[in-house]
């Protein structure tokens, strides 16, 4: 059985077990989500329309301290 392709991203913010400043391999869908939300740097697996990008942003919650 072929292995699923993984995407490598550099985490900007810590998310769960993925620590900020580290490079991690993620499934492409999760890597895209982290990149679009600004949690990681890396290459998207495909082009996203402005509407798709806005949909990702609308599902986030901002917290100020």
Q: How far apart are CA 31 and CA 52, in angstroms?
A: 15
Closest to 57 measured CA to CA, from 33, 37, 31:
37
pTM, entire model: 0.81
Provide the residue ranges of all domains of the chain, joining segments of one domain with +: 7-58
- Sign of the C-alpha dihedral computed for residues 34, 39, 41 and 47 taken in this order: positive
- Over residues 9-65, the pLDDT tens digits come to 999 999 999 999 999 999 999 999 999 999 999 999 999 999 998 888 777 656 566
């Amino acid at each position: 059985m072929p292995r699923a392709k993984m995407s490598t991203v550099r985490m900007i913010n810590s998310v769960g077990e993925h620590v900020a400043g580290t490079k991690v391999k993620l499934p492409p869908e999760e890597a895209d989500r982290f990149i679009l939300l600004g949690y990681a740097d890396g290459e998207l697996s495909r082009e996203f329309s402005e509407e798709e990008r806005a949909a990702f942003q609308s599902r986030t919650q901002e917290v100020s301290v």
